[in-house]
Amino acid sequence: MVFVVTHVTNRANRMCCPRAPDTLDSTFIAGDGSPVRDSNRILRNEVNKESGSLPSLIGGMLMTLRVLMTTCAVGTLAACGVFAQAQSSPPSGGTGVPLIWNPTGPEDANVNFSGLPIQRDKCYMFYEHLIGKYPRIRTDPATGRVWVDNEGIPQKTNWAAHIAKVRADVIRALPDPEWDGMGILDFESWHPNWELFSNERMKAMSRDWVRARFPTLTAAQVEQRAHEEFEAAAMDFMVGTIRECKALRPRATWGYYGFPYFYPQSQQEDFRPLFAEMDAFFPDVYAVDYSIPVGQAASPGQRVITNYSNGVASKIELAKTWSMGKPVYAVIWMRYSENNPIYTGQFVNELDLISMFRYSARAGAQGFVFWDVFRDPAIRDGYNSFFAGRGGATIRAMLNEINPPPPPPPAAASAAPPPITSNTTIRSNPVTAKLLKSLPPKVLTAVDVPPGR
């Protein structure tokens, strides 16, 4: 059983994490819809755009070929032990249940674990804006401004420039070629399924990209081609990125955060090529609502505990279904999600903390990845108190429940008594002694010896 600790929210991932100095090539969309270069860039050191894109036709051919190869080969790869490296456990922290710490922010190094066997530097999470040239369209929630990063859609990716930057980012973050921790890619702005992701701006740009090259197509043809080109390029982008990471740090365990999502079975099949590339799965089991015991009436921001525990088990079971025998690690957060306006930022209660560990483990999770963003010293102080108090005590209890300590060794056996024979002197009453002397020589058992007084 392995527990990995790292912490992350969805919007916080994109807004609160440290910004790379040369990560994005962004364009501001003005009120009239025209692209305008930003004179007050959010990210420093603007990178010049490189020409070139992923050819749609080649991307589609590669996608088809990869699906066929994956379907035929996954079973063989697993049987031959290709995935064995991913299933190895990080070194133990002394309890048989390693805990690995990897939050985001300058104060995480100052957290006191209060004796919990938590290790640092064994997990690294690459956020989408901190690796390669990740294309996306994002909106500033404070101003409503729309930003186009790295051409906005995967169909227009300059593949050579993206891979070159992936290499530079991985080497900078993980300088040791023999690093054997867990590398998690956190890409949340889109995924390779046109129907299931909701970024309408990226869909509109995909249609415009088709119309610019094929002006005679009908609206239905534009929609179909945009759909196909986006999915092929998106899958190529995600598969190619993780393959490059694995080639650079082959001893590490690589995977994408959050997969698989709760989608119908037929649509999960679309992600099979991506799942085949992952060394491990990292579904999140964050506590959004404050759980209360069964039988109590829930107030705003609360829910009955069974709703959460069932959800935890379902997420892990889904990941186990698609993991093809590879490890599954539950990503957990020790505070309530920002999606809960009443309890956001508060540390989870004991019911939720127990459910995170107990039902993830029972559903088959091999470990846990904690996540958080340390925006200020108050969060550090909160963690210090949490680990020193009831949080640390509950985690210890859960570790003992999931991976109980071995039983103590049996007491040393005393020397066996010599066998009892007719010649053995037995302190007994005179009747017993006379009876024994009258018997022929043989080894007697305790049953043969009448009780004395």
Dihedral over Cα of 306, 309, 315, 317: its sign: negative
The mean per-residue pLDDT over the stretch 404-410 comes to 77
pLDDT of residue 418: 53
How buried is residue 390: exposed, middle or buried, by Cβ count under 10 Å (0-12/13-18/19+)?
Answer: middle
Name the more confident of 115 and 32. Answer: 115
pLDDT of residue 107: 82
The CB density around residue 170, as the number of other CB atoms within 10 Å, is 23
Domain ranges (residues) in the chain: 3-407, 420-453
In this structure, are residues 275 and 195 in contact, taking their beta carbons and an 8 Å threshold? Answer: no
Structure tokens of 287? 């506590």
**pLDDT above 80: residue 239:** yes
| Dihedral, CA of residue 246, residue 316, residue 235 and residue 83, to nearest 10 | 30
| Dihedral, CA of residue 6, residue 7, residue 11 and residue 13, to nearest 10 | -30
pLDDT of residue 72: 39
Q: 215 phi and psi, to 5 degrees?
A: -70, -15
In this structure, are residues 184 and 125 in contact, taking their beta carbons and an 8 Å threshold? Answer: yes
Beta bridge partners of 347: 335
In this structure, are residues 234 and 154 in contact, taking their beta carbons and an 8 Å threshold? Answer: yes
Spatial separation of the C-alpha atoms in residues 330 and 297, rounded to whole Å = 29
Mean pLDDT score of the chain: 77
pLDDT bin (cut points 50, 70, 90) of residue 61 is very low
Beta bridge partners of 164: none
CATH topology assigned to domain 3-407: TIM Barrel (3.20.20)
Note every long-range contact of 199-208, with CB atoms under 8 Å and residues 24 or more positions apart, other chains counting.
Answer: 199/136, 199/137, 201/137, 201/146, 201/152, 202/136, 202/137, 202/152, 202/153, 202/230, 203/230, 205/137, 205/148, 205/152, 205/153, 206/153, 206/155, 206/230
pLDDT bin (cut points 50, 70, 90) of residue 414 is low
Name the more confident of 372 and 9. Answer: 372
The pLDDT tens digits of the residues spanning 105-144 come to 888 888 999 998 887 889 999 999 999 999 999 998 889 8
Spatial separation of the C-alpha atoms in residues 188 and 198, rounded to whole Å = 11
Q: How far is CA 184 from CA 5, 6, 149, in A?
A: 12, 10, 21
Spatial separation of the C-alpha atoms in residues 136 and 130, rounded to whole Å = 13
Query: Residue 225: which of 201, 208, 239, 200 has the closest Cα?
Result: 208
Mean pLDDT check: name the lowest of 170-174, 258-262, 292-296: 258-262
The pLDDT tens digits of the residues spanning 157-168 come to 999 999 999 999
Q: How far is CA 45 from CA 24, 26, 29, 30, 400, in A?
A: 9, 11, 20, 22, 50
**Rounded to a whole number, what is the distance in angstroms from the first to the last CA of the chain?**
57
pLDDT of residue 333: 94
Instruction: Tell whether omega for the bond before 260 is within 30 degrees of 0, i.e. cis.
Output: yes
Spatial separation of the C-alpha atoms in residues 348 and 309, rounded to whole Å = 14
Spatial separation of the C-alpha atoms in residues 184 and 278, rounded to whole Å = 10
In this structure, are residues 385 and 22 in contact, taking their beta carbons and an 8 Å threshold? Answer: no
Query: According to DSSP H, which parts of 37-191 are helical?
Result: 56-79, 159-173
Spatial separation of the C-alpha atoms in residues 133 and 171, rounded to whole Å = 15
The CB density around residue 402, as the number of other CB atoms within 10 Å, is 19
Could you tell me what percent of the chain has a pLDDT over 70?
69
Query: According to DSSP H, which parts of 174-302 are helical?
Result: 200-213, 219-248, 265-268, 272-277
**pLDDT above 80: residue 22:** no
**pLDDT above 60: residue 97:** no
pLDDT bin (cut points 50, 70, 90) of residue 102 is confident
pLDDT of residue 266: 78
Query: Residue 190: which of 175, 176, 201 has the closest Cα?
Result: 201
Q: How far is CA 315 from CA 89, 156, 181, 288, in A?
A: 22, 33, 24, 14
Structure tokens of 216? 């005679």
Mean pLDDT check: name the lowest of 74-88, 173-187, 386-400: 74-88
The CB density around residue 267, as the number of other CB atoms within 10 Å, is 13
